[in-house]
Amino acid sequence: MAKAKVKTGPLARRPDNSAFKQQRLPAWSPMLTANTVLPFFFLLSAVCLLLGVWLLLTVQSTQERKLDYTEAGTCDRCFEMRKNMSLAGEPCSCRLDFSIHKTFKGDVFFYYGLQNFHQNLRRYMNSRDDAQMVGRISKLQSSDIYCAPFTRDPSGVAIAPCGAVANSMFNDSFTLHYHGPGGRVPVPLLRRGLTWYTDKNIKYRNPSLENQTLEQVFTGTSPPPFWRKPVYELDSRDATNNGFINDDLIVWMREAAFPNFKKLYGVLHRASKPFSSGLPAGNYSVEISYNFPVQYFRGRKHLVLTTLTWFGGQNHFLPVAYLVTSGLLMVTAAALTAVWWRFGRDGKNMEE
């Protein structure tokens, strides 16, 4: 059998004689002139201007009411109480009164928000056990090492759910009331369906019950140190919304990218009057079960009532960015046009 010849010496390093390796592929080299570049600048400026105005009008069509309740109303007493670790387990409730001057039409979303709380720290984000959260029985008693030091309680009992993310879960609760002509009426909020479908049905699952109750499944586990209830009692009104598939837990476990964020707490249930068309204008009050301390990280807590559009909530960043870009493009195009008109329109000055 004849052996293939192997190239040696300088020929071994020579690229193949192909159009690609010898750089003989056809190419288009446009000649950029003022007649082609300047109209493009003006056109791009006009497009950015139209997009900016359209998005700005869309954002301004939303309605929003933001309330900082950290020390507002009667919550100052609870704020001072939460500074004392010895009173951390004591319940504290407060009330905040506010008014809405214009009816919030359509679906109204109720958010809680935190400021200066960094959920994007890598060590914090890794402090969880995803295998445990999908319902693996073996992981209830033996969680991931990343959960440390929130793996077991002082008595050695395994914590479920483990980790710093679950341990720091926001645990304030709210009851909203409308003070209308008929008196004080509770505002109905939907507390289910707040999560992504993939989270509720794939990423978070309870362990297999196998003719057991949820409490029996979690027997032998302990709640995180900062929790007031075990995981199987997170929602006292709906037994099917407990365990790892609790909506509040799933919403909290999706970490925020920035230190100032808000998370969905509920959606207005528009099944009956006076809330069938939205949130009517008038006076309101919110009863707050004040549990979550913020003074340790110099944070603030607030509530947000808002309507949404296809673009989302009341966020002016993108419209303003488009308008600023449009202005910069227009100024640049005008400056280039003036230079071209003064020096290069006939081509004589450009040749010197």
Q: Is residue 264 helix, strand or coil?
A: strand
Task: State the number of CA atoms in the 13 A half-sphere of 253 facing the CB.
Answer: 24
Strands (E), the chain: 64-68, 93-100, 104-105, 109-115, 158-159, 173-180, 183-186, 189-190, 221-222, 261-268, 278-279, 282-289, 300-306
pLDDT at 9 over 70: no
Task: Please report how the helices 34-60 and 317-339 are oriented relative to each other, as an axis angle in degrees rounded to 10.
Answer: 160
- pLDDT, residue 334, reads 94
Single pTM value for the model: 0.82
| Residue 286 three-state SS | strand
The count of other CB atoms within 10 Å of the CB of residue 35 is: 8
Q: Is the pLDDT of residue 7 over 50?
A: yes
Stretch 264-268: mean pLDDT:
96
Could you give the CA distance from residue 328 to residue 324 in angstroms, rounded to a whole number? Answer: 6
Question: Token pair for residue 266?
Answer: 């509920």
pLDDT for 351: 47
Residue type, 178: Y
Residues of the chain with pLDDT > 90, as a percent, come to 60
Indicate the domain borders of the chain.
Answer: 54-317
pLDDT in tens, 56-101: 999 999 999 999 999 988 899 999 888 877 666 788 999 999 999 9
pLDDT on residue 319: 95
Residue 146's contacts (CB-CB under 8 Å, 6 or more residues apart) are: 126, 127, 128, 129, 163
pLDDT tier at 325 (50, 70, 90 boundaries)?
very high
In tens, the pLDDT along 133-166 reads 998 887 787 767 888 899 998 898 999 999 999 9
Q: Which of 304, 303, 306, 305 is nearest to 75 (CA)?
A: 303
CB-based contact 259:118 (threshold 8 Å): yes
CA-to-CA distance for 147 and 292, rounded, in angstroms? 21
Look up residue 221 and give its two tokens.
């586990």
pLDDT in tens, 284-293: 999 999 999 9
Contact 98, 281 (CB under 8 A): no
